[in-house]
Structure 1
Amino acid sequence: MITIKQLHPLFAAEVVGLDLSRAVSDSDFQTIEDAFRHQSVLVFRNQQIDDDQQITFSERFGELETTKVGTVGAGSKLVILSNMNEDGVVVPPTDKQVLNNRANRLWHADSSFKAMPAKASMLSARVIPSKGGDTEFISMRAVYAALPEDLKKAAENKVVIHDYAYSRSKIDPNLVTDEERAAVPPVRQAMVIDHGPELGKSLYLGAHAARVEGMGEAEGRALIDELMAFATQPRFAYTHKWQPHDLLLWDNRSVVHRATPFESSTEKRLMVRTTIAGDVPTLAAAA
Structure 2
Amino acid sequence: MTAITPLHPLFAAEVTGLDVSAPISDAKFSEIEAAFRRHSVLIFRDQRITDAQQIAFSERFGALETTKVGTVGAGSKLIVLSNMDAGGTVVPPSDRQVLNNRANQLWHADSSFKAVPAKASMLSARIIPSKGGDTQYISMRAVYRALPDRLKRAADGKVVIHDYAYSRSKVDPALVTEEERAAVPPVRQAMVIDHGPEFGCSLYLGSHAARIEGLSEGEGRALIDELMAFATEERFVYAHKWRPHDLILWDNRSVIHRATPFEGASEKRMMVRTTIAGDAPTLTAAA
TM-score (norm 2): 1.00
Q: Distance in 1 between matches of 2:168 and 2:38?
A: 31
Q: Which amino acid aligns with 2:273?
A: R
Partner of 1:140: 140
The answer to whether 1:247 aligns with 2:247 is yes
Q: Distance in 2 between matches of 1:237 and 1:282?
A: 23
Check conservation: 2:21, 2:57, Cα contact below 8 A. no
Q: Distance in 2 between matches of 1:19 and 1:188?
A: 39
Q: Distance in 1 between matches of 2:115 and 2:20?
A: 32
Give the secondary-structure state (helix, strand or coil) at the position aligned to 2:275.
Answer: strand
Instruction: Report the alpha carbon displacement of residue 280 of structure 1 after superposing the two structures with TM.
Output: 1.0
Task: Note the 1:151-170 alignment, pairs <5 A.
Answer: 151-170=151-170
Partner of 1:228: 228
Give the secondary-structure state (helix, strand or coil) at the position aligned to 2:268.
Answer: coil
Q: Output the aligned Cα RMSD.
A: 0.4
Partner of 1:65: 65
Instruction: Report the alpha carbon displacement of residue 27 of structure 1 after superposing the two structures with TM.
Output: 1.5
Instruction: Report the alpha carbon displacement of residue 104 of structure 1 after superposing the two structures with TM.
Output: 0.1
1:81-131 deviation digits (Å, cap 9, x = unpaired): 000000000000000000000000000000000000000000000000000
Partner of 2:14: 14
Q: Distance in 2 between matches of 1:21 and 1:230?
A: 39
Q: Distance in 1 between matches of 2:40 and 2:280?
A: 18
Partner of 1:194: 194
Q: Distance in 2 between matches of 1:52 and 1:75?
A: 15
Q: Distance in 2 between matches of 1:278 and 1:103?
A: 23
Give the secondary-structure state (helix, strand or coil) at the position aligned to 2:33.
Answer: helix
Q: Which moved more, 1:248-257 or 1:25-34?
A: 25-34
Q: Distance in 2 between matches of 1:238 and 1:24?
A: 28
Q: Distance in 2 between matches of 1:281 and 1:21?
A: 32
Instruction: Report the alpha carbon displacement of residue 28 of structure 1 after superposing the two structures with TM.
Output: 1.3
Q: Which amino acid aligns with 1:111?
A: S
Which structure 1 residue ranges, 4+ long, deviate > 2 Å from structure 2?
A: none
1:151-208 deviation digits (Å, cap 9, x = unpaired): 0000010000000000000000000000000000000000000000110000000000
1:37-84 deviation digits (Å, cap 9, x = unpaired): 010000000000000000000000000000000000000000000000
1:228-281 deviation digits (Å, cap 9, x = unpaired): 000000000000000000000000000000000000000000000000000011
Instruction: Report the alpha carbon displacement of residue 23 of structure 1 after superposing the two structures with TM.
Output: 1.0
Q: Distance in 2 between matches of 1:69 and 1:252?
A: 21
Q: Which amino acid aligns with 2:256?
A: V
Partner of 1:89: 89
Q: Which amino acid aligns with 2:55?
A: I
Check conservation: 2:40, 2:255, Cα contact below 8 A. yes
TM-score (norm 1): 1.00
Q: Which amino acid aligns with 2:114?
A: K
Partner of 2:218: 218
1:130-159 deviation digits (Å, cap 9, x = unpaired): 000000000000000000000000001000
Task: Note the 1:260-271 alignment, pairs <5 A.
Answer: 260-271=260-271
Q: Distance in 2 between matches of 1:90 and 1:25?
A: 41
Partner of 1:172: 172
Check conservation: 2:163, 2:187, Cα contact below 8 A. yes
Q: Which amino acid aligns with 2:267?
A: E
Partner of 1:30: 30
Partner of 2:117: 117
Q: Distance in 2 between matches of 1:21 and 1:278?
A: 24
Q: Which amino acid aligns with 1:281?
A: P
Partner of 1:80: 80
Partner of 2:104: 104
Q: Which amino acid aligns with 1:161?
A: I
Check conservation: 2:121, 2:274, Cα contact below 8 A. yes
Q: Which amino acid aligns with 1:160?
A: V
Give the secondary-structure state (helix, strand or coil) at the position aligned to 1:202.
Answer: strand
Give the secondary-structure state (helix, strand or coil) at the position aligned to 1:196.
Answer: coil
Unaligned runs of 5+ in 2: none
Q: Distance in 2 between matches of 1:31 and 1:2?
A: 9
